[in-house]
Structure 1
Amino acid sequence: MTDSGKRNYHVFFHLHTVSGIVISTALFIIFFCGAFALIKDEITAWEKGKRVFQEEALNIDYDRAIDSIKVADYDLYGRDLRILVPDAKQEIYFQLSESQDSTITFKDDQVYYFYVDAHEYTLSAYYAFYSIGELIYRLHFFSQIPYVGIYLAGFVAFFFLLAIVSGVIIHWKKIVSNFYLFRPLAKVKTVWTDAHTALGVIGLPFQFVFALTSCFLCMSIFVLAPANLMYKGNQSQMMEEVRPMMKAYTLGNPAQSIGSLNGFMEEVQNRWEGFRPVQVYIRNYGADNMIFQVDGMVMNQKKFVAHGRAVYDVASRELIAQKLPDEWNYLEGVETVVRALHFGDWGGYTLKIVYFILALITCFVIISGVLIWLTAREKKSISPSQRLFNRKVGHVFIAICMSIYPVTAFAMIVARLIPREMDASRQSILYLAFFVIGLFVVLFFRFKRNNHFTTRYSLLAGAVLGLLIPLVNGMVSGNWFWTMLAENQIEIALVDMVWISLSATALFTLSKLKKPEPLVPSHEELLAMQKEEFINELTALPKTEKTMKYKIAILWLASAIGFILHGMYGLYGVYYHESLMMEDATGEVPLAHHLWRVGLEGMAFLLSVLCLELRARWFYWTAFTWAILHGLFNVYHLATALMYEPSNLSEILALAVMVVISVFLIKAFREWNKELIVNPEE
């Protein structure tokens, strides 16, 4: 290999390693939750315990559904209604737009999205029955993180794409020979490397497709932003051409009568044999130019995705526009293909099972990649402090990734035991069972500091809880999976069978899992070596650099001043006649606002003073944790300002400075930690 070839190899090798390590935990969560997101509707049906009658659900009575919305005291005039046809959970999803008639608004207790039962046509709020399937599906793209969660998932997918491409370049010459190479009796690093390579090659097409489609779906804002410039800010024109199904129509005059809407769907299904409706739009409801639009797919062997659209004028009941399924539209075709490939809803349950298995294989590839990295860094040439840090990274990663399996099984059991008739507090209970209990499990395994222990007992707990899932379901609802199979209730039986299969796989893995040799040196020995290393470093430093507490105190003070300046930046707008008074202001500052000021400015001032007086370990970890939370808040605040207030340069500059201060503050804490390890007392 030439010098340039060696250099390129090392560049791609480090790109593959760094991009994989940085995103490993988030990527594992995305793929694990993505596996269950494939059957989220089946999980909801399983959770409800009702029989699924899919054929009846497709024959929606639109007149009756809309009447049920009107009974709930919704004024639909001038609104656009977006309707998603029911799936396994047998609910029709409705989303209402603002009315073009400005006199019609939503009432205080009304929401603009909800479900209508596909059989009984009763209306229920989105959160009235919050499913564990919905929770896992939304965690798949970090929806629980407000505003930026989906973009975070998009950046993770982008770095995953880099890891895939660089991994292929690294292993290209030996990709075939290494695929057939497996040495189970070799040393640990070799076993993990062989497994990582073999399973990585098996799942490579799947992983590449998912990385690429995830970038498209989660980061489409970066595609539409330059497109917006091309259309000179005319977003309505841009959306009509990029996404024709979103075309809006100017509101006409109130119609004398509307008539039945059911005949339109029958007309579309007769027009195109094999047509399956996906979503329906009703534009300008109640107006004389009311539109009924159907978007769907024709399932045939001629095209991978045959997307069709029919647009009817309700008053004249005439077809005014259509997109034939055999007609190709590049912009719509790309988006349709991307969605079909990502969600796997074009190949039935067979494809979903294949996707499910490949997603779990990818989870194993991620874990094996991190374990290779950890094993490679157990070298004598690496400093004790760096080895300790690497081990901590491994403990955190394995604790999070392995604990999500039993925690998900536990949350499934809790979801099945919660009464079906509960209100929106059902979501709070599921969040408690999944996130709060999960946090305690992760912390327990993290401070156990034993990756083998974490893996073994996570698999054991997940297997036991997984076997309890069909048992609990059968006892609560009587829907034993063998009964559901006999009655062709595949949607419900599938969930139980998935968990039984996962439990059997986990138990088999446990039977083959061997206890590794203890790490040398041990954790305690590394701590002693690290202390000696720090003593040598501090001895070599000038006297003025041996303490970091003054630097940290100054940074905390700068942070407090930064919060005050950020709070005052709005006064700048007074000079330009900008109104600063909040709506419904009474002259009294709410308690919550006082707490925010105390928590940000007050805590920064307090920690600045205490850093000069205290050096106890408990204070260090308290202040360090607050500094990390403080930094994350500043990064989040800066990101939202860039997204929603890009013209507010004063605020963006202030927040950028705050982020820089946070980085220096966390770095200073790391240096102060060395002093406290060497000299824990004053």
Structure 2
Amino acid sequence: MKAATLRTFQTVHTWTGLLAGFALFVAFYAGALTVFHDAIAAWQNPPWHSARDADIPLSQLIDRLVAEHPQAKDDFGIVLPPDPAHAAYAYWEDAQGTRFATYSEMSKPRDEANRGSLADFIYALHDSLGIPVAGLYLMGIVSVLYGLALISGFLIHLPHLLSDLFAMRVGHNLKRLWQDAHNAIGVVSLPFHIIFAVTGSILCLFTITLAALNTLAFDGKLYGAFAQAVTTAPTLTASHTPAAMLPPQVLIDRARQASVAGGVTSFEPDYLHYMRYGDRTAVAEVRGLSQHTLGTYGTVALSAVDGTVLSTHVGSLHTINGITNSAMYGLHFGTFGGNLVRWLYFVLGLAGAFLFYSGNLLWIESRRKRRHADQPKRTRVMARATIGVCIGSCLGISGAFAATMIAARLDLDVAIAQQAACYGLFFAACLYACLRSIPRATVELLAATSALTLAVAVADLLANASSLMHASSPQALAVLGVDAIGLLLGLVFAMFARAAARRARHGDPRSVWALAAAS
């Protein structure tokens, strides 16, 4: 490769990494936790704290829905509970917009599905940085830049790929050590990063891409064609003849039986969708999650009157459109496998966050003056931004866990508490990084994140100790697992704080991370 070409790729890699790095750090750290979305939901609402309406049968919920909101008969859904401790809730559209309600909320339905859900809040941070609408498109652009950084970084290191892949040169040259760690993690996890970049950009920019193609290439016909291509239930005309509906549990059982024909034996329904409820041509779609298949989400359409299977889109019976759409979600979130794949994606998420953090550190180390105590302003600004945004994000997410636990016990609005704690701690960390000296801010913010993360895990374990000792359900193990991960992350942050303190005292005195330079 010519020297000029190499410099061009290095410039592309550097600036795309810097522009997208902060957003990607948040996305990867929150995404690593999102892998255990259901476990976090169980942590917030453990099985020994049964939710209101958890014992209401599905048929009773549907009867009240159609009695109090008859206009919903034509099209409504029932979100099934993940475990017996949670309540199912109905979903429909009316003149005022989207409505959600459990059995007792039917007279005054909500306009948010899971207000105060910690798992959904962390998912929103991963998906859109917690910014409504615009954040999703921003992350789509960031994913495109992410792809450019991956390609350019791979081409830069291609000539020395095999010789330097596992080289970890530990010594006085700290930049070389960071470089080796950055390169090794980037190359080893490259296939997964390509998957994340491609699926992330498609999922985030899908609506804009569809609108652009509809106008430029399909003469306004794309929306109708797309809806027809991805539908999973046949279109039937209403007969206007009343008929009795089968119980929801019968439909769920028959959907499980139908999934066997697609080679899937682990079909776990999570959503029921009814069309023309009460009519002789009523259709029910049962959506569920399947393990050990890229077509993670599948749907079985049945007659709601007699349970006849109308179409099956599960496992090998998926259409090309269905398997493509479902595979994007499965590959991005690691839902296509069992616990081993989830743990792999968790580790990859944390490694990805480290990749962008170490990239910023390399930029700082490459531009500092090694024979001068006074470092350039740009390196000091980047150092403050790195510790403020990156460590502040970790501190804010730990704060959201703490706020969720405290608000539930004080009967406060959990959603407001989560947002106030997460965003408040994040901006406070950024301000602290600007006002405090760089080495002290680094050590103190890492120590604060470690202390808060450990405190939440220990407090939850102590509060639920007796229940955990007598519970043996998967949800109880999920609660224990979330606390165990909290303890692990707290100890990792403590190790980072100790390493940062050691470097501040005994490292290169002319570094921006040194106490000597700060003084």
Q: Shared fold by TM > 0.5?
A: yes
Q: AA paired with 1:194?
A: D
State which of 171, 193, 197 in structure 1 corresponds to 2:183: 197
Aligned counterparts, 1:84-483, within 5 A: 84-87=79-82, 90-92=86-88, 94-98=90-94, 105-106=95-96, 111-114=98-101, 125=110, 126=112, 130-142=116-128, 144-229=130-215, 231-234=218-221, 237-245=224-232, 253=240, 255=242, 257-273=244-260, 274=265, 275-296=267-288, 298-299=290-291, 304-305=294-295, 308-315=298-305, 317-323=307-313, 325-379=315-369, 387-419=376-408, 422=411, 425-450=413-438, 452-478=439-465
Question: Structure 2 vs 1, CA of residues 114 and 442 (structure 1 numbering), >3 Å: closer, same or farther?
Answer: farther
3-state secondary structure, aligned to 1:279:
strand
Contact 1:76 1:285 survives alignment (8 Å): no
Which has the greater radius of gyration?
Answer: 1
Once the two structures are TM-superposed, the CA of residue 203 in structure 1 deviates from its matched residue by 2.5
RMSD, matched Cα = 3.7
Contact 1:291 1:312 survives alignment (8 Å): yes
State which of 45, 48, 54 in structure 1 corresponds to 2:45: 48
3-state secondary structure, aligned to 1:519:
coil
Once the two structures are TM-superposed, the CA of residue 111 in structure 1 deviates from its matched residue by 4.9
Between the aligned partners of 1:231 and 1:82, the Cα distance in structure 2 is 31
Match of 2:477 in 1: 490
Task: Give CA deviations for 1:482-526 in whole Å, capped at 9, x if unaligned.
Answer: 666798721111110100111222233344442233437999xx9
Between the aligned partners of 1:250 and 1:234, the Cα distance in structure 2 is 23
Contact 1:183 1:191 survives alignment (8 Å): yes
Contact 1:240 1:247 survives alignment (8 Å): no
3-state secondary structure, aligned to 2:62:
helix
Q: AA paired with 1:492?
A: V
Between the aligned partners of 2:22 and 2:308, the Cα distance in structure 1 is 54
Question: Structure 2 vs 1, CA of residues 454 and 343 (structure 1 numbering), >3 Å: closer, same or farther?
Answer: same
3-state secondary structure, aligned to 2:317:
coil
Question: Structure 2 vs 1, CA of residues 261 and 180 (structure 1 numbering), >3 Å: closer, same or farther?
Answer: closer
Q: AA paired with 1:457?
A: E
Match of 1:619 in 2: none
Match of 1:31 in 2: 28
Report the TM-score, using the length of structure 1 for normalisation.
0.66
Once the two structures are TM-superposed, the CA of residue 358 in structure 1 deviates from its matched residue by 1.4
Question: Structure 2 vs 1, CA of residues 299 and 65 (structure 1 numbering), >3 Å: closer, same or farther?
Answer: same
3-state secondary structure, aligned to 2:315:
coil
Match of 1:537 in 2: none
Q: What is the aligned-residue identity percentage?
A: 21
Between the aligned partners of 2:140 and 2:103, the Cα distance in structure 1 is 32
Question: Structure 2 vs 1, CA of residues 218 and 477 (structure 1 numbering), >3 Å: closer, same or farther?
Answer: same
3-state secondary structure, aligned to 1:419:
helix
Question: Structure 2 vs 1, CA of residues 348 and 60 (structure 1 numbering), >3 Å: closer, same or farther?
Answer: farther
Structure 1: give runs of 5+ residues left out of the alignment: 99-104, 527-682
3-state secondary structure, aligned to 2:160:
helix
Match of 1:6 in 2: 3
Report the TM-score, using the length of structure 2 for normalisation.
0.85
Between the aligned partners of 2:318 and 2:513, the Cα distance in structure 1 is 64
3-state secondary structure, aligned to 1:465:
helix
Once the two structures are TM-superposed, the CA of residue 145 in structure 1 deviates from its matched residue by 2.1
Q: AA paired with 1:387?
A: P
Between the aligned partners of 1:123 and 1:447, the Cα distance in structure 2 is 48
Match of 1:504 in 2: 491
State which of 80, 95, 118 in structure 1 corresponds to 2:75: 80
**Which deviates the most, 228-237 or 176-185?**
228-237
Match of 1:67 in 2: 63
Question: Structure 2 vs 1, CA of residues 486 and 330 (structure 1 numbering), >3 Å: closer, same or farther?
Answer: closer
**Which deviates the most, 149-158 or 81-90?**
81-90
Between the aligned partners of 2:275 and 2:473, the Cα distance in structure 1 is 43
Task: Give CA deviations for 1:116-143 in whole Å, capped at 9, x if unaligned.
Answer: 69xx999984477502222211111226
Between the aligned partners of 2:409 and 2:268, the Cα distance in structure 1 is 30
Between the aligned partners of 1:238 and 1:502, the Cα distance in structure 2 is 47
Contact 1:19 1:159 survives alignment (8 Å): yes
3-state secondary structure, aligned to 1:345:
coil
Question: Structure 2 vs 1, CA of residues 319 and 341 (structure 1 numbering), >3 Å: closer, same or farther?
Answer: same
Once the two structures are TM-superposed, the CA of residue 282 in structure 1 deviates from its matched residue by 0.8
Task: Give CA deviations for 1:458-503 in whole Å, capped at 9, x if unaligned.
Answer: 2222222222123321344446766667987211111101001112
Structure 2: give runs of 5+ residues left out of the alignment: none
Between the aligned partners of 2:380 and 2:458, the Cα distance in structure 1 is 39
Task: Give CA deviations for 1:600-643 in whole Å, capped at 9, x if unaligned.
Answer: xxxxxxxxxxxxxxxxxxxxxxxxxxxxxxxxxxxxxxxxxxxx
Contact 2:370 2:511 survives alignment (8 Å): no
Once the two structures are TM-superposed, the CA of residue 253 in structure 1 deviates from its matched residue by 2.6
Question: Structure 2 vs 1, CA of residues 86 and 346 (structure 1 numbering), >3 Å: closer, same or farther?
Answer: farther
Question: Structure 2 vs 1, CA of residues 381 and 455 (structure 1 numbering), >3 Å: closer, same or farther?
Answer: closer
Question: Structure 2 vs 1, CA of residues 521 and 16 (structure 1 numbering), >3 Å: closer, same or farther?
Answer: closer
**Which deviates the most, 320-329 or 335-344?**
320-329
3-state secondary structure, aligned to 1:272:
helix
Contact 1:45 1:52 survives alignment (8 Å): no
Match of 1:542 in 2: none
Task: Give CA deviations for 1:6-54 in whole Å, capped at 9, x if unaligned.
Answer: 222122111111100011111111111111122233222212233499x
Question: Structure 2 vs 1, CA of residues 401 and 166 (structure 1 numbering), >3 Å: closer, same or farther?
Answer: same
Aligned residues: 501
Q: AA paired with 2:327?
A: V
